[in-house]
Structure 1
Amino acid sequence: NSFSGNEDGMRYLITPGKRSVPDPDGGEEAKKEEAILTVDLWPEPWTLDKTDPALRRREIFPMTEEGRTAVAQYLNDAYNAEPERWSAHPSILDCEPWTPPAPESDAEIQH
């Protein structure tokens, strides 16, 4: 299950998952799955998908006790490194959500 929260304008989402990594014990091209925690950070006021990607951060940690400790330290460090960034977020009433740019049509690409 994912876990989300916020601290004075810094929002975060921790999502468990898996990724393929090289398996050193399995031969030249062998792969194995590794459990991971993906941490997304972004400023208020919008949800992750309504926040400009330039304002988002993503880090991946192993899903181990050390990885969970590293996630907590990462969140603390991110907040403490820029407290003014997190506390200076605009009100949801004072800004518009980010929307992705419209895809170029074929006619625009050919000209």
Structure 2
Amino acid sequence: MVFTVYGEHWRKMRRIMTVPFFTNKVVQQYRYGWEDEAAHVVEDVRKNPEAATNGIVLRKRLQLLMYNNMYRIMFDQRFESEDDPLFIKLKALNGERSKLAQSFEYKCTTMEISFQF
């Protein structure tokens, strides 16, 4: 949701994701988990010597933060690092799903199916 390309697919996913994950009640309920994840990001950056000398790309670590927040809400667990095998597998699956959802072939197939009903 955070790192997807903005467009029609993004708007549809936003509608689906908003109610179960981002209403004020849900955000307040899981506030401490979000804050804990943000603290983990800060700690990971502090531990990384590259961050102090050359700088680092935070996008990957922020992606882990978002996956951890959703994973905590759904399963009350978190991924330990960017190297967690399940995190790597989920990220790959989500990347494939995102490519498919935004591809021309997928949109044409979806339209064909819609017209058949």
**TM-score computed with the length of structure 1 as normaliser:** 0.24
**TM-score computed with the length of structure 2 as normaliser:** 0.23
Between structures 1 and 2, the one with greater strand share? 1
Between structures 1 and 2, the one with greater helix share? 2
